[in-house]
Structure 1
Amino acid sequence: MANVFAVHAVGSSIVTFLRNTYPTEIGGRALPECDFELVSGGQMASEGEERNRITLFLYRLTVNEHSRQSAHLRGSGNGVGPLGLDLHYLMSSWGMAAQDEQVALTWALRQLHEYPVLDASSLTPDAGWASDEVIQIIPAELATEDVMRIWDALTPSYRLSVSYVARLVRVDPDSDAAQFRPVVAGRFAYGGAA
């Protein structure tokens, strides 16, 4: 389980993994130069410089449906267990030419197909991951209408995209907050003087 930096650490780890494993050639054929970036909604909506790149955009964050109730059942003495999250990413290809765009995205898809699990050794350490922590990266099917809604909300025109879900990101409860819960009500009694 990790701290509040876990969500950012997962996206950063995926991008770092792809960047560090991207080869210059395959089978004697050169691959196009390509950058890999984790981007925010503001960065997606702004006009960036045109270059070959793969972006990873966290477009949705949900509480994992299987861990909602079980988190409270296996929690500590105060009844609060870890928060289980699913991270929904849109991986998009920004190419100067059709071949550059398609080759780089196909390579990234194959890489995540071959290595669909990030363990503690490949996750950035700032989230304080447990040594047995693993995050699964699973392809997710998005309806064409949902993809178009995402792109309609952004300024740039549609780019070739694929969606993924990273699960299960477990965020520890704040241990300090568990010891000192906020006061939400108080009772006062007034008695008459004798």
Structure 2
Amino acid sequence: MAGHRALAATGRSIVDLLNRRFEQQLPTGPRPTAVLAGTYDFDQVNSSPTSVIRYPAVSVYCYRVSVDPTMRAAWSGVAARDGIPRIPLRMHLLIAAWDTHVESELEWLGLAVKVLERDSILAGPLLHPSGEWGPGDSVEVVTDELPVDSMSEAFEALTTQYRLSLPYLARVVRIDGAPESTAEPVATVEVNS
């Protein structure tokens, strides 16, 4: 049963996976650090030792969360039977590389794609434990279709300049509610006088 921390745990899972694979693929020499980034972090890139995004880096930015329309009805049906409400969600992500040279950024982006294609299903030990995952829980990380207009709009809403990014989708992140309490059976007591 995934708890309310499942979205954050999914982001952490992706970042942990990227960092683990980056270290395996590039044991020596420069390698990027994957980070979970927010809009504020884009304005602070490499500006201080405490900046979240420091060169070289690969940022994982969640720009939207939506309800998964294909799984919503199925999980509602399960909830009707067992009394546990569930909502299946999709995390829309932008993966971007950061470095002083465009060639390096393209290499880091290529490396991130290689990792996410190889390990596109996050399950078991690949899921960050803070998500309160249940046995059998998994999250699929796949490329997303994002029209160029939408990508431009996403960056227009930010104060940072356009950044070469790849859209990804983490699905299905399911958040489970507390079980509905079952009503006590009604008993009739007959009193003889």
- Normalising by structure 2, we get a TM-score of 0.83
- Normalising by structure 1, we get a TM-score of 0.82
**Contact between 2:84 and 2:176, CA under 8 Å: does it hold in 1?**
no
Partner of 2:139: 135
C-alpha change, 1:61 and 1:127, in structure 2 (3 Å) is same
Residues 35-44 or 105-114, more deviating: 35-44
Partner of 2:51: none
Secondary structure class of the residue paired with 1:74: helix
Partner of 1:47: 44
**How many Å separate the matches in 2 of 1:7 and 1:125?**
12
The correspondence of residues 1-194 of structure 1 with structure 2, limited to 5 A, is: 1-23=1-23, 32-44=30-42, 46-49=43-46, 51-76=55-80, 80-175=84-179, 178-179=180-181
Structure 1: runs of 5 or more not aligned: 181-194
**Contact between 1:57 and 1:91, CA under 8 Å: does it hold in 2?**
yes
Deviation of 1:74 after TM superposition, in Å, equals: 1.2
**How many Å separate the matches in 2 of 1:141 and 1:149?**
15
Structure 1 outlier segments of 4+, above 4 Å: 76-80
Deviation of 1:80 after TM superposition, in Å, equals: 5.0
1:66-98, Cα deviation, whole Å (9 max, x unpaired)? 122222211155755311001110101111101
C-alpha change, 1:25 and 1:129, in structure 2 (3 Å) is closer
**Contact between 2:86 and 2:175, CA under 8 Å: does it hold in 1?**
yes
**Contact between 1:86 and 1:166, CA under 8 Å: does it hold in 2?**
yes
Deviation of 1:24 after TM superposition, in Å, equals: 7.1
Structure with greater proportional helix content? 2
Deviation of 1:124 after TM superposition, in Å, equals: 0.8
**How many Å separate the matches in 2 of 1:130 and 1:80?**
14
C-alpha change, 1:137 and 1:24, in structure 2 (3 Å) is closer
C-alpha change, 1:24 and 1:170, in structure 2 (3 Å) is closer
C-alpha change, 1:57 and 1:71, in structure 2 (3 Å) is same
**Counterpart residue identity of residue 70, structure 1:** A
**Counterpart residue identity of residue 146, structure 1:** S
**Contact between 1:92 and 1:160, CA under 8 Å: does it hold in 2?**
yes
Deviation of 1:154 after TM superposition, in Å, equals: 1.0
C-alpha change, 1:117 and 1:25, in structure 2 (3 Å) is closer
**How many Å separate the matches in 2 of 1:168 and 1:156?**
30
**How many Å separate the matches in 1 of 2:89 and 2:150?**
21
**How many Å separate the matches in 2 of 1:132 and 1:79?**
19
**Contact between 2:95 and 2:167, CA under 8 Å: does it hold in 1?**
yes
